[in-house]
Each structure stands twice: as C-alpha cells, then as structure tokens.
Amino acid sequence: MSLRLYKQYKYTILGDIIMFLGCHSSVVSLARTSTFITEIPEANMNKTRLCIVVFVLLLFSGAMPLFAQRMPQDNWYLAISWTQTVTDVAVDSTGTVYTTGGNQVQVFKQDGTFIRKWSLSGALSIAVGTNDEVYVSSSTSNRIYVFSTAGTPLRQWGSTGSETNQFSSPRIDVWTNDLVFVADYNNDRIQVFDSMGNFVRTWGSYGSAPGELDSPCAIAVDLDGLVYVGDYGNDRIQVFQQDGTYV
C-alpha cells in the first residue's frame, strides 16, 4: 500500500529536517532533492499526519522558502510508501538523484532511470557537496564516507564512540562552503567538519530546554547558513546559527 503526493513548487524543499518522524528502522527524509521517498510504520502515522499538516501550513504561509534551495528543475515530489526502504535522498548539480537504504547507494536520472549503485553497510544519510562529491554516513561503522559521483571512494573519517570525531548513528548535510554538519543521534549533539574531515566545532547536550537535544536525527542548512535540526526525542525542530547559537 502506498500514498503518493506530488506538487509543483518553485523551490525544492531543503532538508531532511523532518526525519525525526521515524528515525529507527524507518526514516522520513524530506530532503533537498527532487524526490522524497520514505517508509513509515503504522506506529509513526500520528507524527506523520502532524508533519504533513505543518508542511502544508508552511507551504501556504509563504515561509517555505526558508526551507528551500534552488535546484536544476522546479518539481518536488512527496512519496510515502510502505513497500521500499529509502533512508535519505540528495541531488547533485546536474539533477542526478542519489538515495541511501538497504546497505547501498543508488543513483538515478531525474525521470527515475537507474544509473548505478554501490554497496555501503548501514548507508543511512546522504548529501552532495558543491563540487558534486557525495557524502554518506553509515549507521554500521559510524563513519562519514566521501565518494565521487561514480562511486569511487575518496576519503572517510570517524568511528564509534562519544569523543570528538566519533559518532553514533550520524546524519549529515553539507553547506555551500562544504562544511559538513553531522547530527550525532545517540550522542545528542551536532558536530561540524570541513570537507576533508577536520573537526571544526561541536554543540548540544542531552535535554529538553531550548538548544538542548534528544536524539537529533535530521539536519539541514539553508541558503543563509541557518542550521535546522530535527530533535526527535523532543518532537520539535530547532534552529541554530553555524556556531551553535540557538535562534
């Protein structure tokens, strides 16, 4: 059974900021891409309905450009499916679509034509840098991997743990200056790196007060550099400046 929603809009939605709706076996990813595909278990449907209401309100209130990014074409697609496993999706500068899920990265043309795939255990979250390098996080190795568009490994960093440059079920986004923002799910924090994996800064701690986090499982950076974090355990979205200042 599947429910599919399609809508034309000038911008493509920025951010898997509502991945917090189903962050364990099934992840909601409203990504800065031309395609949004997710698998939602029945237990998460109430949150999903709430998310769709908020999404529609944003769309018609004029606030949506805050969550938007110009992409090569003007369509965005929302597809909710119970028959496939896609954990995240991203688009490069040519409009090529990349998805994670099922321990692999798959690549498609805009019309859905399959191009290629490569294996990566625990492939969870994906983003594309300004030079079209493909960044993928793994929930198995708790590392960040960087590939060429052809799937050639370029570099990687991270390990399992709670120290600096360590992760536990990381989700990622890459800003226009190729800073890599990592929502470190089980460590209740955000870590920031340059494109080579050098540590820049971190912020966040466990809690429910403004600026505190409980299982952040989605992150996106808008065109102005504001960082949107899906705070799963607190059922909210928080906004930060890039230095971690709560907005």
Query: Residue 82's pLDDT is what?
Result: 37
Q: Which DSSP category does 133 fall into?
A: P
Query: Residue 177's pLDDT is what?
Result: 87
Token readout for 57 is 């309100």
CA dist., res. 127 & res. 110, Å (int): 16
Dihedral of alpha carbons 182, 206, 217, 23, sign:
positive
What one-letter code names the amino acid at 98?
Y
| Residues linked to residue 190 through DSSP beta bridges, in sequence order | 183, 203
- The answer to whether 98 and 150 have CB atoms below 8 angstroms apart is no
Q: How many CB atoms lie within 10 A of CB 205?
A: 13
| Element holding 55 (H helix, E strand) | helix 45-61
CA dist., res. 204 & res. 102, Å (int): 30
CA dist., res. 178 & res. 180, Å (int): 6
Token readout for 141 is 């190795």
CA dist., res. 232 & res. 83, Å (int): 24
- The answer to whether 83 and 2 have CB atoms below 8 angstroms apart is yes
Q: Which DSSP category does 225 fall into?
A: -
| Residues linked to residue 216 through DSSP beta bridges, in sequence order | 231
CA dist., res. 232 & res. 171, Å (int): 12
CA distances from 207 to 61, 113, 166, 212, 214 (A): 31, 44, 20, 5, 6
Q: Which DSSP category does 182 fall into?
A: E
Over its length of 247 residues, how does the chain's per-residue pLDDT go in tens digits? 222 322 222 233 333 433 444 443 333 333 333 333 333 344 454 554 544 444 444 444 443 333 333 344 444 443 433 345 899 999 999 999 999 999 999 999 999 999 999 999 999 999 999 999 999 999 999 999 999 999 999 999 999 999 999 999 999 999 988 899 999 999 999 999 999 999 999 999 999 999 999 999 999 999 999 999 999 999 999 999 999 999 9
Q: Is 0.85 topped by the overall pTM? A: no
- The answer to whether 147 and 140 have CB atoms below 8 angstroms apart is no
Instruction: Tell the residue number behind the tokens 């499982």, with chain if given.
Output: 217
Collapsing DSSP to helix, strand or coil, 52 comes out as helix
